Chains A and B, each alone.
Chain A
Amino acid sequence: MNSKKELEILILRNFLGDLREDEKKILSQWLDASPENRQHQEKMLSSWQDGKLFRDWQRIDLQENWEEIIEKAQQEQTKTLRLRPVLKYVAAVVFLILCSVWMVNYYANTSIANDTPRPMAVLLPDGSQVWLRQDALASFHERSFKKDRSIEIEGEAFFEVQKGEVPFIVLADEGKVEVLGTTFNVRENESSTEVLLLEGSVRFSAAGSEQILKPGEGAISDGRRIQVIPQVNVNSVGWKTGVFRFSNQPLREVMEVAAGYYGFSHEMSKAVEDLRVTAAFNKNSLSEFMEELSFILGIEIKATENKLTITKE
């Protein structure tokens, strides 16, 4: 009885055309014995047909494969070396998350927004004072403020900064103001940040450049460059100081400027809008202000619940 192995060798040799007559007989007897045997032969020869097996086998490049093995082995080693640091990273990430949770609590931002029409005074931990104009927002870290004296501003704010060793920093979207002790105004809106200096000296930096301002100067940044305003209009900070100087300005503008300080809303008839005003005010009360304007222009100002209605007399 022929072993299966011997028969398989016969099958292959037959395929290559190398069987003696007696061997052929043995093979065909075996093949005829059962259909499974024929199937077995077909399965065996399928890979040998058309020489593909041999070509593929010949194509195996021992040198190239060995080089790839060495390369892979080295890569894998560095990978396993890196695996331990991965655990370290996991620990580090967990630690950082815990830290930040703690820090968020510890250094919780204090945010103050002024939703009243009148300026709102905020006393900062270092004794400096900020006046927020209507709709302005200031945020700072209550606990670390004395160390970094950094405050973020949205909208318009007026500062009286206490002298100190640490620079006082105002961050706005389009620029940063650094000071040691001074009085200045910062106005931030969607597209620009403007700083107006009253006393002392500030460094305004934005868009990679910086500008040191002298009292009475201002600067405005649109995020691309800083433009210096040589003479600050006193009215620009009138909303805080209550000091206004109008020179031949239409009533419309006058009322808008004054509204920031007095905190009124107002409406006026077309007839009075363009009346020219030349006048100075210095922390006058609202009634004094109204009286003065009525007197100069011959208009009627009626006050109802903080709303002024202005008409021709």
Chain B
Amino acid sequence: MDTDEVKTYYLSYFRKLVLFACKYVGDMDLAQDLVQDVFVSLLNKPVEKIENPDAFFYTATKRKCLDHIKTQTIRSAHHENILSVSESVFHDDAVEKTELENHLLSIINELPGKCKEIFLQSRFEGKSNLLIAEEMQLSKRTVETQISKALKKIREGLTGFKNILLTIF
């Protein structure tokens, strides 16, 4: 497998895997670092072909995380707990959760600029529609339309995703 192929996998998996690793190590920066290592090993010890990319990448990431946790001298009870869990990823709730979360995050991220901004302020910053309208110098009506447009996109995206999930898991 050459660098270009690795990069293709990288582009479709990196964010998901970071999200996944984050569930183990609880820190986004550290998670990025660990997932980087997954791709580093892939570049340096080339694999001919990856049969099941989902299984391959999630397992590799999980192993990296567990290795990291093991090498930490101070282990919290929480980590001990994770360590005692079986390594098989496909019984792992975290994978499914990651897929779902990542999918939702992607949908939100792909909303058109203004629509996304309004939606984020409304849902994550707890601002009222009126406040958003004032701040962005829009009518309250426009804000409401943009939010419902965003929700529609999300709903559609998640419905499609539900079907994918049912076939994968």
Contacts and interface: CB of A to CB of B under 8 A. Distances in A.
B75 interface: no
B146 interface: no
A76 B124 contact: no
B80 interface: no
A112 interface: no
A139 to B, nearest CB: 51
A60 B32 contact: yes
Contacts of A3: 166
B39 A62 contact: no
B7 A66 contact: yes
Interface in A7-55: 8-9, 12-13, 15-18, 44, 47-48, 50-51, 53-54
Interface string B20-52: 001000001000100011011001100000000
Interface residues of A, number: 34
A54 B120 contact: yes
Contacts, number: 89
Nearest to B3: A70
Interface string B140-152: 0000000000010
Contacts of B155: 13, 18
Nearest to A75: B40
A5 B96 contact: yes
A9 B11 contact: no
Contacts of A8: 96-97, 100
Contacts of A56: 22, 28
A224 interface: no
B60 interface: no
Given A76-B44, A77-B44, A62 B14 contact: yes
Interface of A: 3, 5-6, 8-9, 12-13, 15-18, 44, 47-48, 50-51, 53-54, 56-60, 62, 65-66, 68-70, 72-73, 76-77, 80
29 contacts: A5-B100, A8-B100, A9-B161, A9-B162, A15-B123, A16-B151, A18-B154, A44-B97, A50-B124, A51-B120, A51-B124, A51-B125, A53-B105, A54-B108, A56-B28, A57-B15, A57-B105, A57-B109, A60-B32, A65-B36, A66-B7, A66-B10, A69-B10, A69-B39, A70-B43, A72-B40, A73-B40, A76-B44, A77-B44
Given A47-B101, A54-B124, 4 more contacts: A13-B155, A44-B97, A57-B18, A73-B39
